[in-house]
Amino acid sequence: MKETEENKVTSNQNPLRKKVKQLVEHRLFQPFIIGIILFNGLVIVTESYLVGNDILLVLDVMIVWIFAIEMILKIVGLGFRGYFSDRWNIFDFSIVLASLLFYATPFVSVLRLIRVLRLIRMIPAIPALRKIIDSLMKSVPALTGILGLTFLIFSIYAIIGTTFFRDVLPYEFFGSFHTSLFTLMQVVTFESWASQVARPIIHEVPWAWAYFISFIVIGALVILNLVVAVILDYLGHEDETLQKEQMERLYKDNQDLKKDIQEIKQLLLDKNQK
């Protein structure tokens, strides 16, 4: 029944839209767009060495118009509702439209930013990257509690550090609450934390070793691993959902096949009885 409805919808499409849809859904269309995105990145990197090169500027304009043509083809082939029902298509539309608009303005810095953002179009173009980002977005509600706990722990340790280590190191380390937060971020990422931060303070305040060890255990080993565990859980959940849908589809096909076999058996029995 579902297939019949889909065939009716397809048959009701005008020939132009049908051909355009076949084009955008062709197996080589998406790899071509991925190649253009990679080439766009190469042009941006090259331009950082050859600033204002006319050939690179022409190539950049050509790339923008290729993206614009791709966008138009998808809108024509999929229809407005089909195209804008995907949030990644909305993102692509925004980037391409902004690129076209800012080419005619003097805002060079904004244009450069948009050109870099065009590289993010690689995410929806590659299914594996798209899956990771979708899983990250779905895990945000679950991460809210962990992020709140992280901020609480950082705040407690920042207040302790500001209170006891303010005069041990220069102001930029534990001179205020916000500088203490930045120093703790340096410690939790293991960026020269021992030589620049921990050892000089322990030399002056011997008990400070307990402060740094406890913060590293809680902040780096526990909190960060909790964040990774939540994200990996959602990645696995995505696979489980897909597997469940496939199993349900196979079960339905199996039931339909059994029903067809029963009907064939019944027809054969009726024929033999006659």
pLDDT tens sequence across 39-88 = 888 888 888 888 778 888 888 888 888 888 888 888 888 888 888 888 88
Which class is 7-125 in CATH?
mainly alpha
pLDDT tens sequence across 118-176 = 777 777 777 777 777 777 777 778 788 888 888 899 999 999 999 988 888 888 888 88
Record: fold of 130-273: Helix Hairpins (1.10.287)
> What's the confidence (pLDDT) of residue 243?
64
H helix count then E strand count, the chain:
14, 0
Q: Where are the domains of the chain?
A: 7-125, 130-273
pTM of the model: 0.56
Minimal CA–CA distance to 167: which of 204, 213, 114?
204
Q: How far apart are CA 133 and CA 123, in angstroms?
A: 8
What's CA 203's distance to the chain center, in Å?
45
- Same fold across 7-125 and 130-273: no
Handedness of CA 60, 62, 64, 67 (dihedral sign): negative
Alpha helices (H) in 85-107, listed in sequence order: 87-102
Mean pLDDT of 29-45: 86
